[in-house]
Chains A and B, each alone.
Chain A
Amino acid sequence: MLNSVVPEPVEGPVRNILHRIDKGLRIVLKPFQIVSNFILFTVAYFLGVGLSSIFYRLGNKSKTIPPDSYWLDVPPAPKDRDSWLRPF
């Protein structure tokens, strides 16, 4: 490859065979995966999201008057470094 800074992918015979097997399996299993995902996510949606939405609607009936400003306060950023290691 011409590019002086972008490294070429490492390819070896064993890696190549494993890669092809993996690719082949993925192709064969793909339709099953799509169907099972659809069923699973449908159940999760109607049970999890649906039930939560009932509680959400019960608890959100009141209408609020528009305020003078829509700016919201941002909570201060945590000071300890470790809290930034969390993905939430």
Chain B
Amino acid sequence: MNILGISCHYHDAAATLIRDGGIVAAAEEERFTRRKHDPAFPENAVAFCLKQGGLDIGEVDALAFYEKPLIKFERLLTQHVQHFPRSFMVFQRAMPSWLTEKLRVRKLFKKKLGYRGDVFFLEHHLSHAAGAFYPSPFDEAAVLTVDGVGEWTTAAMGMGRGTQLELHKEIRFPHSIGLLYSTVTAYLGFSVNNSEYKVMGLSAYGDKNPVSNPYYTKLKQVIDLKPDGSFQLDMSYFDYEFAERMPSKKLCDHLGGSPRKPEDPVTSRHENIAAAVQIITEEAVIAMLRQLHRTTQCPNVVLSGGVALNSVGNGKILSQTDFQNVWIQPNAGDGGSSMGTALYVHHALFNNPRQIASPNHTLHHPYLGPSFSSDEVESFLRGQNIVHHRFPSREKLLDETANLIQSGKVVGWFQGRMEWGPRSLGARSILANPCDPNMRDILNLKVKHREIFRPFAPSVCVEDAPKYFECDDPVPLPTDFMLMVYPVRPEWREKLPAVTHVDGSGRLQTVRRETNALYYDLIKTFGGLSGVPMLVNTSFNIRGEPIVCTPEQAYRCMMGTGIDCLVMEDFIIHRGENMKDTWDSESVAKD
């Protein structure tokens, strides 16, 4: 049975193809259109999924959509009624796309894909929950979903058992932890639904002590958080119900002034505000998880929704709750719901049993996107007259790449199938030496063109992680997806300057040989040279652009930045051996 899952029309449009419950392919639309967080109908991602599965649209048995558009529309109309006439401009802007596209999803599938079969519609948070539960390695798990908003729900708790999954409790719009975080993101001058992770990075510079951080007390007045993790926001501090801006004037006054403009410098006040919203978010999520454990008594928990990408909070789940095991959908935002909705239809609606032991049923790795053979890469390089060299063997590839990194070079790494989700995890990565004290500045200024306060992540082989990080034991599976932040062991902090954040933490990615042998072996080879089996792993893109998908995009990214060489399948391309590209990466480095 072939099921195509689709999410789109809000942000991070994506498609997933499953065959008999096994995940065949999944990708976000942004990787093909090159528009970051592209919300448009994912026709390119669908085309990729079908081609990867060797199918045409007529062979798809069912199509699953990640939310119920009419219920979402009802919520929007309710907002307009409640906030008449202040919502006039938002109404004017939103209605055309609702009436022409968003309410006509079934018609859109027919028009864009030529699909005429059944379309199943799931609630937004049920799609998130399914994306967390069904690909997890657990037969039974408690489920928590937290995001900005779906139809009405902004957070939900439930339970998955075998093929069945139910949500039991929810928090409804306008009360939303995700929107609180986004509001503060907007207040701090960063883009909403895009730069929340910058606030998370910035929070490490602020005062993490709730007693001494004055903004913690101020922000606590905005939210009524109950001991059971439920909450309500004081909506007088927020304008997002009826306007396109998020913080109200009252919130701006409460936080001591007008919002930061993107070009303004980041001050300690901004750092403390970021720290305050991070602490409150962690408090809320931990309280929800404790309540979830109290009511389910299940040792396993799975999470999804945009807030589940908050890796700083995720790193505290096992130490601060009674759950023993955790799994998080690597694409926890709305993109991941395309996977959840397809799996729910397969298991819950068609009663097909789960096969947790089967490799492509449980999501052990994120490599679900397009790949390019060495022949294809070579034909591209020859076609473009790009000077390149073929590695004579796998050993040579590993040795030469490790040597380059050890000598301080920044290496573009393009191997195998592209990652699913927002993180580069060893398929489309930029790699560097974590022990080099200048590497953070080199990467920030020459390659990524991004804010200096943002940290870089380390990749480390799973068995080596406890040596360098104060992580949970055993290392939880979401660490493979770079979803957990742990303290770097104090004795290693100075030796790992490129990956140790200002508060001594690191957002590590653990690598297993069984899921990415080449990357695992590269880390070990580098360890043999440097004495530290660890690499800086940052996403293969520049600020404001999606992660690269094709060899052409990877080459272009290298030529326009400070990446020294590109290791692409069996080939190496040195920037210095090729004509300087006219593309100025710095000029396009915007959010």
Contacts and interface: CB of A to CB of B under 8 A. Distances in A.
Interface of A: 2-7, 37-38, 41-42, 44-46, 49-50, 52-53, 56, 66, 68-74, 76-77, 81, 84-88
Contacts, number: 129
B380 A2 contact: yes
A70 B120 contact: no
The 8 closest A-B pairs by CB, nearest first: A88-B70, A70-B230, A53-B84, A71-B169, A71-B230, A52-B81, A74-B167, A84-B120
A40 to B, nearest CB: 9
Contacts of B156: 74
B138 interface: no
Contacts of B230: 69-71
Given A6-B47, A45-B92, A85-B118, 19 more contacts: A5-B370, A5-B371, A6-B51, A38-B92, A41-B91, A45-B85, A52-B84, A53-B80, A69-B226, A71-B171, A71-B230, A74-B166, A74-B168, A77-B167, A85-B120, A87-B69, A87-B70, A87-B106, A88-B71
A11 to B, nearest CB: 15
28 contacts: A2-B376, A2-B379, A4-B370, A4-B373, A5-B371, A6-B51, A41-B92, A41-B95, A44-B95, A45-B80, A45-B91, A49-B91, A68-B226, A69-B226, A69-B230, A70-B226, A70-B230, A70-B231, A71-B157, A71-B228, A72-B172, A77-B126, A81-B350, A84-B122, A85-B121, A88-B68, A88-B74, A88-B121
B38 to A, nearest CB: 15
A68 to B, nearest CB: 7
Interface string B135-167: 000000000000000000100111000000011
A4 B376 contact: yes
A49 B121 contact: no
B422 interface: no
B170 A74 contact: yes
B120 A74 contact: no
B44 A6 contact: yes
Given A71-B171, A77-B166, A4 B371 contact: yes
A72 B169 contact: yes
A71 B166 CA distance: 15
Contact of A66 (B81, B120, B224): B224
Nearest to A40: B95
A87 B6 CA distance: 14
A68 B225 CA distance: 10
B194 to A, nearest CB: 24
A2 B92 contact: no
Nearest to A78: B349
Contact of B121 (A3, A46, A87): A87
Contacts of B231: 70
A2 B555 CA distance: 13
B416 interface: no
A42 B92 contact: yes
A6 B171 contact: no
Interface in B66-98: 68-71, 74, 77, 80-82, 84-85, 87-88, 91-92, 95-96
A6 to B, nearest CB: 5
A2 B118 contact: no
Given A71-B228, A74-B169, A84 B372 contact: no
Given A52-B81, A71-B230, A86 B171 contact: no
Contact of A6 (B48, B71, B349): B48
B550 interface: yes
Contacts of A81: 349-350
B550 A3 contact: yes
- Point out which of A46, A49, A72 has the most chain B C-beta atoms below 10 A from its C-beta: A49
